[in-house]
Amino acid sequence: MSVLPFPSFLDDVKEKGLKKAVFEGVDEVVERLTAGLNIQDVREALRGESPSRRPNPRLTPHADGFWLHMRPSYFNTEMVGIYPTFRLGWLSTYFVFFETITGIILMFWYTPSPEIAYGNMLAMLHNVPFGQFVRDLHRLGAEAMVLIVFLHMLRTFYTGSYKKPRQFTWFTGVILLILTGFLSFTGYLLPWDQLALWAVTIGASMAEATPLIGEQVNLIVRGGPEMGANGLLRFYMAHVLMLPALLFVFTGVHYYKVIIHGHSLPPQSENIGEDTAKRVPLDKRVYFIPDILTSEVMWFAVTTFVMIALCVWFYHAPLESHADPQVTPLGTTAPWYFLWIQGALKLGDKTFWGVIFPGILLGFLMVVPYIDVGPSRRFADRRIALSVSFLMLTATVVTSYMGLPEFGVATAPDQEILNELTFEPAHNHMGLLRPVPFEQLAVGAYTTRQFAAEEVDARAAVEAFNVELEETGQLATLVQNLQSSHLNIQTVNFTPVPADAAELRHVMEEFEAFIASENIELLDGWGAVIITQNQQDVKRIDVIVNWQDIVLENGRPVLDENGQPIPVVDENGNAVRRLSTKHIFINQNSAYFD
């Protein structure tokens, strides 16, 4: 006998033999870990057999275990297919955990400081094994989550699942939608690149439109009058602490409500107010163990595989150049899921369209189940609700389109052209001059006039241009302007583009085409590119657009009866010419030429 007051393992071995004693020990461990299923039970479940002992051991993990206590022990067979849920609620939950895990991994290499954050991004791209991959997963997961949560809401609406008794479930769902939007938005800023800074600056400026306390809200959110170190730290804390905490709490409330009311069945199988959760007929039960569990494992595997495959072969999280509070990229937009607010903002008053309108819309969404109390879930009985939803969907699409920079943001054509030639890489595009090979950027001054009149010999056209500049005094203005932007030159002498610089020549032809296409607003316009080199590996490119000023009204040219623009003249009756310039530096080792 054992010295212990109860039989020991050794006693078991003596009594039953080693093999049986070990098996019984392992069996007991398995039963404890699974909170109720021994090896035999597990194997029966995996083989798809009915449980051989009663009471049904497959219900015990739901009653006694922590992990399954929040999962129902059986589902209704009518909702386990793709329809009616499309697994959208499950997928939303999947992405909550997916984003949490990838986010925690990213936190190892991230410091929320404007000095370090962008360096962290570069380090992750080049020096951290799987760094880029994890960032891709997290970014793609975030965008997918916004989309899936939105689709989940649409599905719930169209099947009428928000109706009694599930009104409050819908209400918490709208809170989760808002939290998802804010989580995605706060995460947008963290890479601290141009895309992040300016999209968030535009988005956060909507807070400024809050009536009465707009300025205070803005200061609290950004931690200063502009987005800087404090703002980055605050967004980071919101992104990794406050918002996830709220998201977990409301996910818990939401799922609890889903379970106590039972999954909503297809409209034809369930009457409003009927308690389908607790009265699932025996022949309609699909038990969680093993059927739902294995199905969820399959969904987990497929979704994870899709995410990994997308991030390995198709998707890479964007990273633009370092955030620069002094330079706003042309065509800056809010993230795509906020385009609808940006579009609405173009309709007029910032306070109304930026704060009151989204507030009313989200408030309306929250109380939809308390307004639409119709007892039927059939489409034919829900014509008003469906019409309102289509109206709102259409409005969302239209205002999102209006949020794009192409819509309603009039940019002066000279700035548009300068940008087209010089802009930094963004969204896989860059200014035309940037990829011109370094050796083709021959030092000198070139003009679009060389290409304006093809029939004339190039050298003669450029010579005539030099003379014209000299005689009209434009040359002095040009030199003065270039000197004021710290270009150390005394005069400019234009020459034809060298014969061996084919790509530069191509850019100049495009430049001429741009100016020619704006021949009303850029009346009698010419463009020039001046390339200088003061350091061994660096060339400076100045781009100039010069045109004759015309009479504008509300930013649009005033046309005379012949459809021609009206030139502005000074007090002596001479045409007034305007010019815009922009310069960039190109390094010999720059990656643009790859």
Q: What residue ranges bind another protein (CB under 8 A)?
A: 198, 201-202, 205, 216, 219-220, 223-226, 230, 234, 326-328, 330, 332, 409-412, 414-415, 477, 480-481, 484, 552, 555, 578-580, 582
For another protein, give the closer residue by CB, 14 or 322.
Answer: 322
Nearest-approach distance from CB 517 to another protein, in angstroms:
17
Nearest-approach distance from CB 173 to another protein, in angstroms:
26
d(CA 184, CA 146): 8
Relative to beta strand 577-587, strand 538-548 is antiparallel
For another protein, give the closer residue by CB, 103 or 335.
Answer: 335
For another protein, give the closer residue by CB, 81 or 225.
Answer: 225
The dihedral over CA atoms of 73, 100, 255, 265, expressed in degrees to the nearest 10, equals -80
Q: At what angle do helices 293-309 and 131-158 cross, to 10 degrees?
A: 130
For another protein, give the closer residue by CB, 271 or 328.
Answer: 328
Nearest-approach distance from CB 445 to another protein, in angstroms:
18
User: Which DSSP string do the residues of 104-117 spell out, in sequence order?
Assistant: HHHHTT----TTTH
d(CA 486, CA 481): 9
For another protein, give the closer residue by CB, 219 or 452.
Answer: 219
Nearest-approach distance from CB 478 to another protein, in angstroms:
8
Q: Which of 526, 522, 545, 531 lies closest to 464 in space, CA to CA? A: 526
Nearest-approach distance from CB 395 to another protein, in angstroms:
23
For another protein, give the closer residue by CB, 245 or 409.
Answer: 409
Neighbours of 588 (CB within 10 A): 13
Q: Which tokens hold the place of 244?
A: 């996830």
Which neighbouring-strand residues pair with 584? 541
Nearest-approach distance from CB 350 to another protein, in angstroms:
9
Does the CA dihedral 407-409-412-414 come out positive or negative?
negative
For another protein, give the closer residue by CB, 43 or 556.
Answer: 556
Q: What is the DSSP letter of 497?
A: P
For another protein, give the closer residue by CB, 216 or 517.
Answer: 216
Q: Which tokens hold the place of 360?
A: 């009313």
Relative to beta strand 444-447, strand 523-532 is antiparallel
Buried b (16+ CB within 10 A) or exposed e, 254-292: bbebbeebbbbbbbeebeeeeebbeebeeeeeebbbbbb
Nearest-approach distance from CB 137 to another protein, in angstroms:
32
Nearest-approach distance from CB 270 to another protein, in angstroms:
36
